[in-house]
Amino acid sequence: MIGIFLAVATAQGFDPASIETAVSAELGRAMKSLKLEDQPLPKHITVRLGAGEFSEVGTIDGALSYENSGPYRELRVDVRVGDARMDSGNFSSAVGTRDGTAWRGLAHEDKVGAIRRELWLAMDSAYKGATEVLAAKQAAREGRAQAYTPDYSLAPVVELGPRPMGSTNPPGLKQVVLALGGAVSEDRHLEFSAVLGGANIGQVLVHNSEGTMAWIPEQRLVIRASVQSVATDGASLKNGRSWVVKDLDHLPPIATMQQSLQAASAWLDILKETEVGAAYLGPVLFEQPAAAELFRQLLHPQISGTPPLELAPESAASDSRPVPVARLGRRLLPVGWSVLDDPTADSSLASFGLHDDDAVATQAVKVVEDGVCQDVLMSRVPRFERQASTGHGRGFGSGRVEAMPRQVTIRGARPLGEKKLRKKALAYAASAGLDHVLVVRRILTISEVGDFEFAFTGDGPLSGLTAPAEVYKLYSDGRKVPVRGLQFVGVDRRMLRDIVASGPTGPAVQMLDIPGNSSRFVLERFDGFPVSWAVPPVLISEVELTSRSGGEMRVLSPPALHR
């Protein structure tokens, strides 16, 4: 392991030997002497220390708005107390209380003493929080005869040394971002445009009390481009494009990216004078870009097997264990459909990975066969039906490490060509008494949505799916009429069972996501982990959309801009 330290330090600008020395020493000290009176010693500790370089560039209306680059160091500590039967993990105590995790930023100089000090502070905080959670968990279970799974599964010990890494290449990233921003900067119908680019390259040391000492590489480049306009009735119009890749070499040609963003802008120009679409109930054809987002939002929770956090019961009769969302044996898709997640399928994608955040080797998992959920993705948090991790664990922020998709491929039963698929969509529309079918080309990604829905007693159903950004009416004579102001109603996983036809599986669509909880719907800029969804376009027999304008007429015209 020591043999390649020099090469890594030269390329990456950090000293893995100092980091390993500090983490090993402090982890050993904590396991032997981290203790409060009348409290147990730690049962398990995992340290994740990330080190690397980042670069960020942004433009507004084509002009450079900010840029920043440099090294990063971050530390996360997970401490568990208890025993093999029950420990402090997987329990949600009162809001605002400490738990068994701690996160800290680190100085950029890899001094053993400085790293150990930060580790000591983080472990002390996490340990105290873990003891508090364990006490709350014991109280919640007191007097209950229910069966519980262990809180943490076994995993093989892994040893992986650090690797030489390249650079985030800030000059190249800046060139791409400026070129994209300039592609729409002269579009007078736009009120705002922004392009954000972020890249990072580094490694995460995963060292735990079981003996694992593994350096896990991480690398990604994200570009988000957004354009906004206002319709004649004052409604806000949004569109955009995004690219998630490993590095600059894996981006499409700049001209292709510019054309894509210009198409997003041109769509808004059309929508400015377009009337708000009427409420719709009927078949909907989701083209591949929209279909990828559809599956990402609806299928992700159904194949991620990490059980929900245990809660303090509200009464003696209530169960502290929420029902898992992902259920084995549940029909998720029509007969003949399959879903495979293989994190090692395509090494050119940013979602590629040989190990997860627990340093568990990733595995290919066929989660859906013949339309039925036959298996689930797992982290080291077990459930009754599945104990072992499949190497899909990811930890976002201070949350626990949960299973989530990585490289998903979905295949339909009998894929149709584009013409036959559209013909079938029009036939379903005719049977519903409609002279057209709605085609959704693109759905707003989670990070593009500026609001978050809440429901109160008596409210109507939530949308269940982010709004369509590009949607049009398709007529039998081939006419395509753009529509705006539509929003989905009452969408949930059951809609996937209403797929009546599909096309061939398309290329992987790369995006950012995090484990399936409410935080998925407030993602910002470069939040999340790279995932990819290779899916077919799908025809769903019945979908409901409502109409809303969401704006008001302007009294004053915007000032003329002279450039």
What does the pLDDT read at residue 558?
62
With beta carbons less than 8 A apart as the criterion, state whether 374 and 310 touch.
no
Q: Where are the beta strands (DSSP E) in 424-478?
A: 436-443, 468-475
Higher per-residue confidence, 93 vs 306: 306
pLDDT at residue 11 tops 80: no
Task: Examine the domain organization and report whether 529 and 390 are in the same domain.
Answer: yes
Could you tell me which residues are beta bridge partners of residue 369?
Answer: 372
> What's the mean pLDDT in 290-314?
92
CA atoms of 472 and 457, how far apart (whole Å): 34
Number of domains in the chain: 2
Task: Examine the domain organization and report whether 208 and 302 are in the same domain.
Answer: no
Using pLDDT thresholds of 50, 70 and 90, give the confidence band for residue 7. Answer: very low
pLDDT at residue 423 tops 90: yes
Short-list 270, 263, 220, 264, CA closest to 245: 220
pLDDT at residue 316 tops 80: no
What does the pLDDT read at residue 523?
57
Cα–Cα distances (Å) from 383 to 39, 357, 376, 379, in that order, read 27, 19, 10, 10
Q: Where are the beta strands (DSSP E) in 516-560?
A: 529-534, 538-547
**Domain residues for 103?**
2-53+70-166+204-217
Residue 32 lies in a domain: yes
Task: Examine the domain organization and report whether 289 and 409 are in the same domain.
Answer: yes
With beta carbons less than 8 A apart as the criterion, state whether 55 and 35 touch.
no
What does the pLDDT read at residue 30?
96
Packing angle between helix 5-12 and helix 16-33, nearest 10 degrees? Answer: 110
pLDDT at residue 50 tops 80: yes
Task: Examine the domain organization and report whether 526 and 382 are in the same domain.
Answer: yes
Using pLDDT thresholds of 50, 70 and 90, give the confidence band for residue 562. Answer: low
pLDDT at residue 410 tops 70: yes
CA atoms of 522 and 491, how far apart (whole Å): 19
Residue 178 lies in a domain: no
Tokens coding 439: 């085609």
Task: Examine the domain organization and report whether 504 and 381 are in the same domain.
Answer: yes
Give the containing element (helix H, strand E) for 530: strand 529-534
Task: Examine the domain organization and report whether 154 and 286 are in the same domain.
Answer: no
Task: Examine the domain organization and report whether 451 and 362 are in the same domain.
Answer: yes
Residue 238 lies in a domain: no
Most confident of 9-13, 117-121, 309-313: 117-121
**Number of residues that make up the chain:** 563
Average pLDDT, the chain: 89
pLDDT at residue 79 tops 70: yes
**Widest CA span in the chain:** 79
Residue 225 lies in a domain: no
Residue 34 lies in a domain: yes
Cα–Cα distances (Å) from 270 to 230, 231, 265, 482, in that order, read 11, 10, 9, 8
Tens of pLDDT along 434-464? 999 999 999 988 766 655 454 444 444 567 8
What does the pLDDT read at residue 317?
60
With beta carbons less than 8 A apart as the criterion, state whether 56 and 216 touch.
no
Tens of pLDDT along 95-109? 667 889 999 989 888
pLDDT at residue 2 tops 70: no
Residue 247 lies in a domain: no
CA atoms of 272 and 235, how far apart (whole Å): 9
Give the containing element (helix H, strand E) for 258: helix 254-272
pLDDT at residue 8 tops 50: no
Tokens coding 547: 């109409």
- Minimum mean pLDDT range among 5-9, 102-106, 226-230, 400-404: 5-9
Most confident of 235-239, 264-268, 395-399, 525-529: 264-268
- Minimum mean pLDDT range among 30-34, 64-68, 307-311, 369-373: 307-311
Task: Examine the domain organization and report whether 418 and 499 are in the same domain.
Answer: yes
> What's the mean pLDDT in 173-201?
96
519 burial level (CB within 10 Å; 0-12, 13-18, 19+): middle
Task: Examine the domain organization and report whether 209 and 326 are in the same domain.
Answer: no
Residue 231 lies in a domain: no
Residues above pLDDT 70, as percent of the chain? 88
Residues above pLDDT 90, as percent of the chain? 75
Those residues with Cβ within 8 angstroms of residue 386's Cβ, 6 or more apart along the chain or in another chain: 305, 375, 376, 378
What does the pLDDT read at residue 456?
44
- Minimum mean pLDDT range among 295-299, 389-393, 515-519: 515-519
The SS3 of residue 351 is coil
What does the pLDDT read at residue 145?
77
> What's the mean pLDDT in 170-185?
93
With beta carbons less than 8 A apart as the criterion, state whether 197 and 177 touch.
yes
CA atoms of 109 and 339, how far apart (whole Å): 45
Tokens coding 140: 């919640």
Short-list 129, 523, 515, 529, CA closest to 307: 515
Task: Examine the domain organization and report whether 387 and 525 are in the same domain.
Answer: yes
Task: Examine the domain organization and report whether 149 and 287 are in the same domain.
Answer: no
Residue 254 lies in a domain: no
Most confident of 5-9, 270-274, 555-559: 270-274
Tokens coding 526: 């470069």
Task: Examine the domain organization and report whether 160 and 292 are in the same domain.
Answer: no
188 burial level (CB within 10 Å; 0-12, 13-18, 19+): exposed
